[in-house]
Amino acid sequence: MKNITASFAMTALATESEAQDRKPAAPAAVYEVAPGLGHFTDDILFGEVWERAELTPRDRSLITVSAIVSTGRTVQIGAHVRRALNNGVTPAEIGELITHLAFYSGWPNAISAVMETKKVFDERCVAPVTDSDAARIELEVSAEAARTASVNAGVAPTAPALADLTNRVLFGDLWQRPDLSARDRSLVTMAALIAMGQAEQLPFHANRAMDNGLTNSEASEVVTHVAFYAGWPRAMSAVPVLKRVFETRPGE
Amino acid sequence: MKNITASFAMTALATESEAQDRKPAAPAAVYEVAPGLGHFTDDILFGEVWERAELTPRDRSLITVSAIVSTGRTVQIGAHVRRALNNGVTPAEIGELITHLAFYSGWPNAISAVMETKKVFDERCVAPVTDSDAARIELEVSAEAARTASVNAGVAPTAPALADLTNRVLFGDLWQRPDLSARDRSLVTMAALIAMGQAEQLPFHANRAMDNGLTNSEASEVVTHVAFYAGWPRAMSAVPVLKRVFETRPGE
Amino acid sequence: MKNITASFAMTALATESEAQDRKPAAPAAVYEVAPGLGHFTDDILFGEVWERAELTPRDRSLITVSAIVSTGRTVQIGAHVRRALNNGVTPAEIGELITHLAFYSGWPNAISAVMETKKVFDERCVAPVTDSDAARIELEVSAEAARTASVNAGVAPTAPALADLTNRVLFGDLWQRPDLSARDRSLVTMAALIAMGQAEQLPFHANRAMDNGLTNSEASEVVTHVAFYAGWPRAMSAVPVLKRVFETRPGE
């Protein structure tokens, strides 16, 4: 009986929050404390940016969750995981995005993200995620050889364990896991690097993202979208980096 | 009856916390866990830095709240919003500071700041903030033309939507809102950039701050104050940037 | 009677959590939301990295707590303070690590860390920490003279108060406090700078760490360990900095 009541309550909650997620709007408290923020949230962020066709809502959700998880904004994770589910990101993809970001933004962010996501999964009665049994992602051989050579030359002499883990675990395991596509991993990594202010790793990953299918127009829009979730300065610092990447890719 | 009791309780709380805010001191837990931190908090941070005449307590509150909101230190927001109110920052100015920082440090920080600030406003029975009906702030024409030209040349070719939003929304709307003065917006932006470690945008905004009335001595003191709220390294990295700004401003 | 019950409960809690800390493992929620993260946590992070002999468990705890406190990952502090106690870090050392990081990553992080640590100390019935009465740490005279000269030349003309506080409070007081050894302060500072992405201050502090007894191999391992707690990009950006430090130290 208790379970049935709880289940009704949860369904009600889920339905209500799904409805809210489909028509996102600034909460009332925003208008009471910072009416300007209400205006910009509803007229610009939700009314304009999320509606732009340059990226799908699913891509925008991947980027948003990545920016929020990688900058440790724990309080905001639940709402955006809900919206990601509504926008077609699967629970398994959300789990693997978090796994991916454990490496790119640290374990504490990932563990906190798991705990917040667990609440949303429970609320929506999502079954426990299991590892995909699809074939592993094959990395492009020559690009992977170049990457390994670069790590062996640039990292191994100073930090041999870090070089080994990079080759063996990050690229030898994580990036090959079929639970999130290569293109989505790149999208998520780019968003995290911009949000964290890590311009140094952006050329490699922006190039990789475009090798994995991201267009110039989508890459630009990632920067624009992250501006709203990690601040204008992070986006502005990414622009010249992206400009150089565009210039060095022939015929694009 | 319930409401009256609640109201008494809130008044008591508010009075107590106001008294605490006026004479800030390290909580007992600090001395029990980290006695050194108690010493430095009471003897240096509150006993010396907050007392320095180079910035008013109101300015120090704007800087502190900005550093805390822009670095996402949610737990600490309430205490510093209380102190900001005590130091003469109005509720509307706090709301607009948060709106401003949504753009400069991302929506998640701003939304979390709203929620924490709402609790303080409720505790102090602050009425909902409304948009100011004062005249919009006029941006200096030649400086604004130069800024637009720079964005159109440096950002638009790579990220056209970001350039458009920068011109139309950030400078065409946000910076013109009369709810926070140009000088205070600059102060808050500088503090956020230093706290976030975004030295790249600091020359533009330090110059703008000084165009908006901040003196050399105040600008230096912003760096010193932020050292305590975002760490010494952030402040140290801002020093050479500020040095070059001082050198390029004739006659100051 | 109530106290006795509470005390039993606390002991049970403490024993249970100590046992968990000794054999760290990913919580069940991790496997349910992100099974890949469970795999990498148990097989790589706990199964391999924490077991590597290049750093003691005590050092790894100092580095981990430093990375977590300095990046403001409040939710994760308690678990790692517990493990640090288990790995031989004393309560007084934890308190002083937090004091040290107030200066290197800002007061808000330190105050939040105190509040989380207080809960662990209460749970384990740790007595309030008191200042050490050991002799103060003597800084090496010529190195300290060089450091002071550098601050007076590079910082004082632009930010005189920051220069004064650096000389008088940071190096004239904090770094001389006997509550945490010079070598451990350096370890903690290096970890914080890497985790915060502050490469600019890393050459000075990596050199200082090695002057304070850290070996090349340990310094490399700090970078590798921090990769897991603040993300790969922070570690990768620290590698070329550390490389140059190694190259400029004769005979090592």
Q: What is the pLDDT of residue B4?
A: 40
| CA atoms of A140 and B159, how far apart (whole Å) | 29
Per residue in B140-168, pLDDT tens? 999 999 999 999 999 999 999 999 999 99
pTM strictly above 0.90: yes
- Least confident range from A147-161, B222-236, C18-32: namely C18-32
Angle at C196 between CA C119 and CA C232, to 5 degrees: 105
Which chains, if any, share at least 3 CB pairs under 8 A with chain B?
A, C
C50 vs A: CB within 8 A? no
Q: What is the pLDDT of residue B22?
A: 56
| CA atoms of A149 and A146, how far apart (whole Å) | 5
Which chains, if any, share at least 3 CB pairs under 8 A with chain C?
A, B
**Distance between the two ends of chain A, CA-based, in angstroms?**
62
Contacts 24+ apart (CB under 8 A), B20-27: B21/B79, B21/B82, B21/B83, B21/B86, B22/B86, B24/B50, B24/B83, B27/C111
Of C114, C118, C158, the CB nearest to B243: C158
Query: Which three-class secondary structure state does DSSP give residue B58?
Result: helix
Q: What is the pLDDT of residue A23?
A: 63
Query: What are the tokens at B141?
Result: 């024409």
| CA atoms of C32 and A91, how far apart (whole Å) | 10
| CA atoms of C85 and C122, how far apart (whole Å) | 13
C35 vs A: CB within 8 A? yes
| Interface mutation vs chain A, best among B158, B171, B198, most A CBs within 10 Å | B158
Query: What are the tokens at B207?
Result: 């110059």
Per residue in A10-40, pLDDT tens? 444 444 444 444 568 999 999 999 999 999 9
| CA atoms of B83 and B94, how far apart (whole Å) | 11
pLDDT below 70 — which residues of chain A? 1-23, 251-252
Of C160, C179, C192, the CB nearest to B36: C179
| Side chain identity at residue B249, one-letter code | R
Q: Which residue of C has its CA nearest to A103?
A: C231
| Contacts of B88 by beta carbon, 8 Å cutoff, 6+ apart | B57, B58
Query: What are the tokens at B196?
Result: 């976030």
Query: What are the tokens at B199?
Result: 């030295």
What is the radius of gyration, based on Cα positions, of chain B? 19
Angle at B212 between CA B210 and CA B217, to 5 degrees: 35
CA distances from A27 to A30, A38, A39, A41 (A): 6, 8, 11, 10
pLDDT beyond 80 at B84 = yes
Residues from chain A contacting residue B119 (CB–CB below 8 Å): none
Are C159 and B41 within 8 A, CB to CB?
no
Please provide the size of chain B in residues.
252
Partner C, chain A 86-105, Cβ-Cβ below 8 Å: 91, 94-96, 98-99, 101-105
- Least confident range from B5-19, B174-188, C207-221: namely B5-19
| Side chain identity at residue C59, one-letter code | D
Domain ranges of chain C: 1-51
HSE-CB at B49 with a 13 A cutoff on CA atoms is 31
Classify residue A136 by its DSSP letter.
Answer: P
Angle at B142 between CA B136 and CA B143, to 5 degrees: 75
CB C204 within 8 A of CB C75: no
| Contacts of B77 by beta carbon, 8 Å cutoff, 6+ apart | B65, B68, B69, B112, B113, B116, B117
Q: What is the pLDDT of residue B105?
A: 98
C17 vs B: CB within 8 A? no
Residues from chain A contacting residue B106 (CB–CB below 8 Å): 67, 71, 73, 195, 228-231, 234
| Contacts of C9 by beta carbon, 8 Å cutoff, 6+ apart | none
Angle between helices C107-123 and B216-230 (to 10 degrees): 20
Which chains, if any, share at least 3 CB pairs under 8 A with chain A?
B, C
User: Across chain C, where does the E strand assignment appear?
Assistant: none
Average pLDDT over residues C57-65: 98
CB C235 within 8 A of CB A154: no
Kind plus residue range of the DSSP H or E element containing B26: none
Query: Which three-class secondary structure state does DSSP give residue B171?
Result: coil
Angle at B221 between CA B27 and CA C73, to 5 degrees: 45
The fraction of chain B above a pLDDT of 70, given in percent, is 90
pLDDT beyond 80 at C23 = no
| CA atoms of B241 and A93, how far apart (whole Å) | 42
Query: What are the tokens at C22?
Result: 């000794």
Closest Cα to residue A75, out of A115, A46, A36? A115
User: Mind telling me how many Å the CA of C195 is from chain B's nearest CA?
Assistant: 12
Q: What is the pLDDT of residue B252?
A: 53
| CA atoms of A155 and C115, how far apart (whole Å) | 38
Of B98, B155, B200, the CB nearest to A37: B98
Burial letters C44-56, b for 16+ CB under 10 A, else e: bbeeebbeeebbe
pLDDT beyond 70 at C12 = no
Average pLDDT over residues C195-221: 96
Q: Which pLDDT band holds residue B24 (cuts at 50, 70, 90)?
A: confident
Q: Is C137 left (phi over 0), alpha (psi -120 to 50) or beta?
A: beta
